[in-house]
Structure 1
Amino acid sequence: MTLVIISHTEHYKTDDGTLVGWGPTVSEINHLVAHFDTIIHVAMLHDGKAPPSALPYTSERITFVSIPALGGRGIGSKLKSIVYAPKVIRSVAKVLREATVFQLRTPTGIGVYLIPYLTFFNKAKGWYKYAGNWNQKHPPLGYRLQRWMLKHQSRSVTINGRWEGQPKHCLTFENPCLTEAEVALGATYSASREWPTVWNFCYVGRLESEKGVGRILDAFKALSADEKAKIGTLHLVGDGPERSQFEAISKEIGVTVVFHGFLPRTKVFTIYKQCHGFIMPTTASEGFPKVIAEAMNFGCIPLVSNISAIGHYIHAKNGFLISPVETDVVVDCITQFINLDEANYTSLLDASKDTVHLFTFEHYANRLMNDVI
C-alpha cells in the first residue's frame, strides 16, 4: 500500500547532502511508514540553511518529491503560487498514479487549487488534514475558501476539536507528537517533580506577536516585585523576524529571559524538564499546538489561550486557560500558578497523564487505519 502525502512542508539539504524537513511533520511520517509499504511525500524544497529542528527521514521506504517553494503573505507570493499552479498540479497528478491512498495537508496556499483538482479530477482514495483552527470566526480568505470546499466534498477531513454542526465526514483527530516510550519517560519524570519554590517558564514556537510573545514579556514585566522574586528563568525557544525587538524588550522586564533560537527536539525536551509552566497566549490560527502536549508530557503545566481546540483538552484540572487573550489575564494566570500550594500543583501534574496519551503516534495511526483508510 502506497501513501502519497502532499504538503507545503519545508525541506532543506544539509551541507553533506542529507534531506531534512520540518521536524513535527517528518516525525509523523517516520512513524506512519510502519503501516505502509511506501510513503511518497510531495513537498517544498527550500534553499538556505536548515533549522536545527529539521529532521531526516528514517526509512528508505519514504521518498521525497519536490515541488517549487511557494507560499507567503504578500501579494507577490500569492501571484507566484498561482503562476506555478499548473506545474504543481502536473507533479501531483504524476505521483498520484502510484497512490493507494493520499493525504493533502491543509490549509496551504496550494490547497486553493489542489482541493478542487482532487475533488473533481482525481478518483484516488484519500483524505484531507486541516491543521488550522476549524472554528475560526474570521479566517484569511484562502483558509476560509479551503474550509468551505472541504465541508462540501465527500472525502474524510481530519480536524482539530469537536464542533457543533460538524459534518459527518469531518473527523475529530489529535495531532500526534509523542511515542509511547516518550510518554513513559515523561510519566516517570513528572512523578519525580517536587513543588517548586522558584518557578521557570518556557515558550516554544515562532517568535512573533501573533503567537503571544509580546504579551508574555508584557505580563512578566507587570508582575510585582514579590512575584518576580518567585520567577527563575523564562525560556523562549524558536526564532522569527521580531526576535531582536523581543530581546530588547526582555532587558527591561525585571525577569531573566533566555532566547535559545531553534533547538533539536531532544534539547526542547530538556527545556520542558527545567520548566514548570508552558506559556502561549496565542491569537494565531491554531488547531491544537503539539508543543502543548509535549510540554505536558514532561510535567510542564500549560498556561494557554482558550482558542480553537485548545480548550477541548486544557481545563482547570490540568492547566490554565487565558481568556480573553489579554495581558492582564496572562498576568492573572501566572500569579495564580506561582501561588499554587503543593496539593494543587500535584493535582495538575496528575491530571495531565490522560491527556498526553491522546497525542501519541500509535494512537493516531490506529485511528487512521480504523476510521479513515
Structure 2
Amino acid sequence: MKEICTIISDTPYSKDKNGELVGLGPTVEEIDHLGSLFKKIYHFAPLYNIESPKSFVKHQKLNIRVLPMIPSGGKLFFNKLKHVFLFPLHILKLKPFLKKTDIIHFRAPTGFGVLFLPWLYVFWRKKIWIKYGGSWTSNDVPLSYKFQRWVLLHFPKNAIITINNSTVKLEKNFFQFLNPCFSSDIIKNNKNIVHKKNFRNGLNLVFVGRVEKNKGIDDIFKIFQKIEGMKNIKSLKIIGESKRENYYREKANIISHKISILGPLSRKDIFKIYAESHVLILLSKSEGFPKVIMEAGVFGCVPIVSNLPGISEVIKHGSDGFIMDSYNSKYHYKDFQLVFDDMDTLKVCSINIFKKSHSFTYEKYLLKIKNAILH
C-alpha cells in the first residue's frame, strides 16, 4: 500500500498569471516523478510574491499539493532571524498534514533546516528520508550547512540520509544517490546528436544557473576578456536569473559580441541550446553536484567546472570533462585556452560524459528509493 509523504524544502514557488502555483522546474519535475511512488505528497515550500520566471513550471501529478510557507532567510541578519520568528507558525501549519503523514522527506541544507532538523530528531517517530543536496565534504560552506551535516551524523540509524557523492565512509543509513536529471528516453533520442557533434568548426559554450558572482560568472567574464577574439569560440550563451542583469549585459557587450545574456528560459528551450552546444562552463565557488552538468552531459556538452569536492568526485579531468584549478582565487586564462584548442580530447570527453550521464535517470533514482527507503 502506498504511503503519504510530506516534503519540506526551500524550492521557490510563485503564482503564474492564471493564479496557479508554479515552482522551480528541475525540482518540480523530480517531485512529479516521486508522485508515482506515493499515495499523496504534501510539499511545504516558500511562496514568493514575484512574477513567475520562465524556469518555473506547474506540477503535472494530481496527487501533489503545495503548502505555501512564508519565505525567510537571506544575506541580512534580520532576514535570517525570521527563521526563528516564523518557525512556530510553520510547525503549526504543518501539524494537521503531519498527522496524516507516513514519511517526511526533508531536502537539506536550508536555513529552515537549522531549526527543523533538531525538531525532527526530538519529535518525529515515523519514517524519515533526508536528502542532503550540498557537498558533504567541502569546508567552504556556511556554518549553518556544517551544523546540519553534524546533526545528520547524529540522527537515529533508522533515518535514511541520501547524499550525492562522498569518498568519506559513513554509517549504514547513509546512501549515495546520484542526483536525477532526466528520463531514460532522452538518452536514445540524443545518441545521434552527440555522435554527430563537430568540435572543429568553432565551439558553442553555455552557462546555466543564477547569473551571480558565487556561480563564477565574474570569473568567466575575466577569462574571456583575456582570450583575444575568443579564439575557437563561436558563442557563449548565458542562461539564468540575475539581480544584476543589466550590469552583466553591458559587461558582455564590452568583452565580445559572441556573448549573449538570455535570462531565464524554459527547460525545453535550454535543451535546444544544449543540443547546439559543445561545452558547459560552470565555475561555482560553492556547490554540491548541480543537475545542469548531467542535463548538458546527456547532450554531449563537455563540462568545464571548478574544483569542488562534490564535482571532482564525479567528473574525471581530461576523460569526461575538465576540472579547473584557481590560484589565489583566480583562474589562468591559458588553462582554458589549452582546453579550447584540444578538439580531439573535447570530442572524446563529449562521448564519455554522454555515457556517464546514463546513470542519472529518474528511473534509476526511483528504483533506489524503492529499495533503500520504501522496502
| Category of TM-score, reference length = shorter chain | over 0.9
Equivalent runs, 1:112-191 vs 2, <5 Å: 112-154=114-156, 155-191=159-195
Matches within 5 A, 1:60-79: 60-79=62-81
The answer on whether the counterparts of 2:325 and 2:331 sit within 8 Å (CA) in structure 1 is no
Alignment of 1:74-89 (within 5 A): 74-89=76-91
Contact 1:219–1:327 (8 Å) recurs in 2: no
Deviates more, 1:237-246 or 1:103-112: 237-246
Distance 1:272 1:231 in 2: 15
In the superposition, the TM-score normalised over structure 2's length comes to 0.94
The 1:87/1:267 distance shift into structure 2, 3 A limit, reads same
1:275 aligns with 2:285: no
| 1:237/1:259 contact within 8 Å kept | yes
1:364 aligned to 2:368? no
* Counterpart contact for 2:105–2:128, Cα < 8 Å: yes
Query: Helix, strand or coil for the counterpart of 1:84?
Result: helix
Gap regions ≥5 residues in structure 1: none
Give the secondary structure class of the aligned counterpart of 1:258. strand
Alignment-derived partner of residue 290 in structure 1: 291
Higher mean displacement: 347-356 or 255-264: 347-356
- Cα distance, 1:333 vs structure 2: 4.1
Of the structure 1 ranges 297-306 and 191-200, higher mean CA displacement relative to structure 2 is found in 191-200
Distance 1:60 1:28 in 2: 14
For the aligned residue pairs, the C-alpha RMSD in angstroms reads 1.6
Unaligned 5+ segments in structure 2 are: none
Structure 1 residue 350: deviation in Å?
1.9
Amino acid at match of 1:78: K
Q: Match for 1:62: what amino acid?
A: I
Aligned CA distance change for structure 1 residues 34 and 333 (closer, same or farther; 3 Å): farther
- Displacement of 1:170 in angstroms is 2.3
Query: How far 1:178 sits from its partner (Å)?
Result: 0.7
**Counterparts of 1:177 and 1:333, CA distance in 2:** 29
Partner Cα distance (1:93, 1:333) in 2: 54
Q: Structure 1 pair 128/347, CA: closer, same or farther in 2 (3 Å)?
A: same
1:274-301 CA distances to partner (integer Å, 9 max, x unpaired)? Answer: 21111011112x1101001011111111
One-letter amino acid of the structure 2 residue matched with residue 21 of structure 1: G
Aligned residue number for residue 305 of structure 2:
304
Residues 276-329 of structure 1, C-alpha deviations (whole Å, 9 max, x = no match): 111011112x11010010111111111001202211221121111112365434
Aligned with 2:225 (options 209, 221, 234): 221
Q: Deviations over 1:31-71 (max 9, x none)?
A: 11112221111111111211110110112111111221222
Q: CA deviation at 1:337?
A: 2.6
Q: Contact conserved, 1:250 with 1:257, CA < 8 A, in 2?
A: yes
* 3-state SS in 2 of match to 1:309: helix
Measured in 2, the distance between the counterparts of 1:237 and 1:280 equals 11
Partner of 2:331: 328
Amino acid of the structure 2 residue aligned with 1:24: P
CA gap of 1:221–1:42, structure 2 versus 1, over 3 A, is same
Counting aligned pairs with the same residue, the percent is 30
Say if 1:6 and 1:104, in contact at 8 Å, map to a contact too. yes
